Amino acid sequence: MFRLDGKVAAVTGAGSGIGEAIAVVFGRQGALVQALDLDPAAAGRTADQIRSGGGRADARRVDVGDGADVAAAFAAIVGKHGRIDILVNNAGIAHVGTVETTTEGDFDRVFRVNVKGVFLCAQAGIRQMLEQGGGVILNMASTAAHMGIPERFAYSMSKGAVHAMTMSIASDYVKKNIRCNCISPARVHTPFVDGYLAKNYPGREKEMFKTLSEAQPIGRMGRPEEVAALALYLCSDEAAFVTGQAYPIDGGVLAT
């Protein structure tokens, strides 16, 4: 079960965190992984990790907010491998601030990556999937798309848009053999969290890590590998009857 043999899987933001975990799990399960990231060195490390485990992977630099860059990357994948069976739109950035403290520049930066990036990659992926007769798209949303989180105005806006795009794509292409779902994680322990703590709470990292962890009802942050396991199911043939859904993986956040 949950094998991806013979499938070409493109994962954006694959250089670290959740994207890296998804790419590695997909490679372990037999996919030919396309590790896409703005940082080519980080994408290369993920691809090397997959290959060292006996899997197959290519690393490609792509700026998901640049239409020409996205088109070139997807054309290169199709030119080399002939198809794209799975697209995971994971690339994203965070922002802390209210509607008052968020600048126009902040808003545009978050929108460009988290919303426009998902749009451009989904558009390129769907065009190829229509030619080949089907495929799977998985978007990374957030619990912020479903609830109010203090000082996450622009980030929540962007993830609400990801949720809405997921539902729209699923509806538009359900008769075309293209499935689209999204995952809505709560706080997951990634390098971003460590960097955020180091920047905002120097000398208090352990204390604040404990505070953030205990804010989850389950008492800890999620692990990237746990999100990757859910991603694997949703992109596998075992989930062939699942489309247009937003799956929380949140340690009980939305239930309390």
Annotated active-site positions, please? 155
Helix count (H) and strand count (E) of the chain?
Answer: 9, 7
CB atoms under 10 Å from CB of 107, counted, come to 17
Sole residue written with tokens 């043999």 = 5
Burial 151-170 (b: 16+ CB within 10 A, else e): ebbbbbbbbbbbbebbbebb
- Which tokens go with 132? 């080949």
| Distance between CA atoms of residues 225 and 252, nearest Å | 18
Can you say whether the dihedral through the CA atoms of 227, 150, 12, 178 is positive or negative?
A: positive
The upper half-sphere exposure of residue 73, i.e. CA atoms within 13 Å in the direction of its Cβ, equals: 29
User: For residue 81, which amino acid is it?
Assistant: H
